[in-house]
């Protein structure tokens, strides 16, 4: 249990004058059972740390009042945040185009000539059951809103390698745009599955489900084994050829990580 974060939460509530409305509870997700009913529940990047997803989600389903909503932002890719084989092939394809200075892993403090698919669940509970989240949500709740995205782009913009890119550099932006477009094309074609989701869930099955055409909850669930690929769009291929080559970095010095939308 991180006592520092608990204290920070209490101080933040006090700073906003809402201490009487916030009840910070020490507990274990794997053993939690609801003590009351809820109008709304928010899980922000939390479920992929839980071993007993079945017990936690059953408790949330039972405690959510009629008309209540369960709002989620989470990781739904392969356990340990590994790439599925069909996605790893594309990551390696783009990795070979990177200058050496862009291949330094700031999180693990190592150089990776070829991207190494590291199982994050080996340390703590990071992504320990990520691939089970979406199937269990489908089993326990009704989706009212669903947005799924990301996969191949993840290693290039995360906390390990994202610091190697400079959002102000033309070549860097063009490269990330190229990866992002390929990611979107592969997901839309059903050749890879998304690794992130935003969702609003409830228990009333008569409510409509709103989602992008290529990312219904059932479509986004699970991995694939096919190893096909599509060519990147002509517009972005042309852009990346025209931009200047990236300037070499001094040693392994970090640079601004890219966050947010890649459009």
The average confidence (pLDDT) of the chain is 85
* 222 — pLDDT class (breaks 50, 70, 90): low
* 191 — pLDDT class (breaks 50, 70, 90): very high
Q: Residues of the chain with pLDDT > 90: what percent?
A: 70
Q: What pLDDT is recorded for position 57?
A: 97
This prediction's pTM? 0.81
Q: What pLDDT is recorded for position 247?
A: 45
Q: What pLDDT is recorded for position 169?
A: 98
CA distances from 34 to 45, 55, 60, 139 (A): 20, 11, 7, 19
| Backbone dihedral angles phi then psi of residue 53, each to the nearest 5 degrees | -65, -40
- What are the structure tokens assigned to 151, written together? 């996969």
Indicate the range of 19-23, 64-68, 202-206, 250-254 predicted with least confidence: 250-254
**What digits encode the pLDDT tens for the residues 15-24?**
999 999 988 8
CA distances from 221 to 27, 78, 131 (A): 29, 10, 8
């Amino acid at each position: 249990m991180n006592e520092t974060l608990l204290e920070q939460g209490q101080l933040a509530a006090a700073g906003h004058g809402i201490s009487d409305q916030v009840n910070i509870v020490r507990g274990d997700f794997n053993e939690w059972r609801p003590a009351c009913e809820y109008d709304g529940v928010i899980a922000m990047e939390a479920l992929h740390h839980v071993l007993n997803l079945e017990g936690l989600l059953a408790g949330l389903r039972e405690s959510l009042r009629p008309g209540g909503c369960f709002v989620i932002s989470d990781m739904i890719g392969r356990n340990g945040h590994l790439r599925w084989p069909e996605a790893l092939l594309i990551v390696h394809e783009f990795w070979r185009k990177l200058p050496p200075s862009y291949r330094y892993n700031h999180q693990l403090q190592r150089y990776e000539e070829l991207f190494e698919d590291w199982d994050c669940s080996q340390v703590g509970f990071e992504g320990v059951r990520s691939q089970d989240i979406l199937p269990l949500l489908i089993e326990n709740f009704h989706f009212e809103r669903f947005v799924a995205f990301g996969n191949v782009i993840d290693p290039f913009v995360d906390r390990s390698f994202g610091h190697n890119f400079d959002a102000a550099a033309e070549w860097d932006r063009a490269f990330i745009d190229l990866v992002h477009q390929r990611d979107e094309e592969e997901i839309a074609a059903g050749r890879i599955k998304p690794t992130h989701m935003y969702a609003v869930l409830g228990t009333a099955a008569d409510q409509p489900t709103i989602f992008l055409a290529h990312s219904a909850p059932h479509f986004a669930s699970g991995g694939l084994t096919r190893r096909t690929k599509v060519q990147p769009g002509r517009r972005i291929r042309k852009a990346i050829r025209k931009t200047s080559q990236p300037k070499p970095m001094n040693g392994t010095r970090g640079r601004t990580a890219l966050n947010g939308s890649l459009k």
